[in-house]
Structure 1
Amino acid sequence: MTTAVQPARREVPPKPPRARIQVIGWIVAALVVAAHAVAWNATEISLSKLVEGATGMGEFLSEAIPPELDPEVLGESASAAVETLWIGMLGTTLSIPASLLLALLAARGTAAGWIYQAARGLLSFLRAVPDVVFALIFVTAVGLGPFPGVLALVFHNVGVMGKLWAETLEDADPGPAQALRSAGAGRIQVAAHALLPVVTPQMVGLLLYRFDVNVRSSLVLGLVGAGGIGFLINQSIQLFQFDEMLTHILVVLVLIVAVDQLSALIRRLLGSTS
């Protein structure tokens, strides 16, 4: 007569005492408050200075309002805004090949060993260097204008997009990839037939998000001489032409709203076809 084997009982670890949890919570809260106090002093935040500067801010606004609506100024602003759009677009699209390659090399399902570590390190470096720093470097190398802005966005965007796409590949459903590996498929075949078709909608969505961000970034790059409407804003501030500055800012607002609407339209079209 056989006897049924009883499964081994696992002891449930005891819960930490409630008092201990409360003490840890108070310690964490105290550390957060202390960090904010140190940061407040280090950044020299002063509400009194803000109140004292209200008069100067009022004078600034009085000189900026109403905006300059001269047709020549509007035409120059619209032309620079279109240039800003081109910088953001090219900075996004030209980074796609390198971003995709590094994403495949930096995803655990498609790369391993030193290749994986090297790709991750390169993406971290490109992501850690701000696009403004890249812009300053390329302005020194190739001169003023939109070209250094495009180069700066390409380099920085490769780091960001490569990481986002690599994480998307790693989060993909492992079932199809495992089935292909069991059938003898290589890493390239697994990526082409099992991973990329599954995650393409997510990757396109991330690409549209980065396009939106890059258009905004190209505005900032113009402040350091990398072309676009940011250059006109900086020029207006230096010449104390605050009414023209406000005109350029309003044109930027129209540009950003148009880009947002375009991105939303593309997402809706992709959602309806999927």
Structure 2
Amino acid sequence: MTTLTIRRLAVPKRPRRRTTVLGVIALAVGLIAVHIWAIRETDVSISALVSGWSGIVSFLQSALPPDLSWSTVVQPGIEACLVTLAIGLVGTTFSIPFSVLLAVLGARTTSRNPFVYQAARGIMSFLRAVPDIVFALIFVTAVGLGPFAGVLAIILHNTGVMAKLWSEAMEEIDDGPIEALRVAGASSTQIAAHVVLPTVVPQFVGLLLYRLDVNVRSSLVLGLVGAGGIGFLINQSISLFRFDEMMTYILMVLILVVAVDLLSGAVRKRLNA
């Protein structure tokens, strides 16, 4: 009877890149040089900050205590906060169908045509590259001052961002069911509808809630360029040097952002449970 001897083979070690001392020194020198250039270009000056400390103190003295007049400050501020929330909510919701379409066309798992794939990725990159405040300035000249310009700006910018995030989530799923449907002759639309989209619904919802949180805060900035909401009141109070009113509006913004963050966090926790 022959006895078989089983030899355990050693697992080959992962090859390591040899990092030379000169390479580390060159990298460190390069990083230092880049940061020195960046500091010079941005006019970073500790002395200017120290000398301007009196201006900061004067500003705080003007801003504190905040103006809590109900009819002239608090009530209009609450109404403007609701408008800011509405801009972020409507802009996020209306961007969903465009984001889904771009994500399906710009994901390798659902898009077979290279031209369509590259075109979708190009549109995503363009919408993400242009800041929402630039879109707001464009739409203010087109539709006038008010929240509608902010909604349109959020829709365009958020479409590019969400489509990018969702397409990446679609590309990370298991390829097994997709390949099985392709072998069976299923089209890209059928694959997206029956496999890809149902699989990534939890990721979609989580990313959507994250973007809603971001868009509500972006709506504040859009108000500074005439898109309505609490940002418009903050800009107005700064122009009139009413820093006590501005402080009240900032506190309202803080409460609004915290409330939206807690709400979205609770919904994400419920989905993951």
TM-score of the aligned structures, taking structure 2 as reference length: 0.92
Alpha-carbon offset, residue 12 of structure 1: 9.2
Q: Find the counterpart in structure 2 of residue 202 from structure 1.
A: 203
**In the alignment, structure 1 residue 220 sits paired with structure 2 residue 221:** yes
Structure-2 change in CA distance of 1:27 and 1:153 (3 Å): same
Deviations 1:72-116 (A, max 9, x none): 110000000000000000110000000000000000111131000
Q: Give runs of aligned pairs for residues 155-234 of structure 1, distance below 5 A.
A: 155-234=156-235
Deviations 1:57-84 (A, max 9, x none): 1000001000001111100000000000
Alpha-carbon offset, residue 269 of structure 1: 2.2
Q: Find the counterpart in structure 2 of residue 32 from structure 1.
A: 31
Deviations 1:191-241 (A, max 9, x none): 111111111100110000000000000000000111110000000000000
1:64 corresponds to which letter in structure 2?
A
Q: Give runs of aligned pairs for residues 34-183 of structure 1, distance below 5 A.
A: 34-72=33-71, 73-111=73-111, 112-183=113-184
Question: Which runs of 5 or more residues in structure 2 are unaligned?
Answer: 1-11
Question: Which runs of 5 or more residues in structure 1 are unaligned?
Answer: 1-10
1:83 corresponds to which letter in structure 2?
V
Alpha-carbon offset, residue 34 of structure 1: 0.4
The 1-side partners of 2:144 and 2:81 are apart by: 20
The 2-side partners of 1:93 and 1:135 are apart by: 17
Cα RMSD of the aligned pairs, angstroms, is 1.5
Runs of 4+ more than 2 Å apart? 11-17
The 1-side partners of 2:141 and 2:155 are apart by: 17
The 2-side partners of 1:13 and 1:181 are apart by: 36
1:117 corresponds to which letter in structure 2?
Q
The 2-side partners of 1:138 and 1:80 are apart by: 20
Structure-2 change in CA distance of 1:245 and 1:162 (3 Å): same
The 1-side partners of 2:17 and 2:252 are apart by: 58
**In the alignment, structure 1 residue 268 sits paired with structure 2 residue 263:** no
2:40 corresponds to which letter in structure 1?
N
Alpha-carbon offset, residue 13 of structure 1: 10
Q: Find the counterpart in structure 1 of residue 246 from structure 2.
A: 245
Count of residue correspondences: 260
Identity over aligned pairs, percent: 58
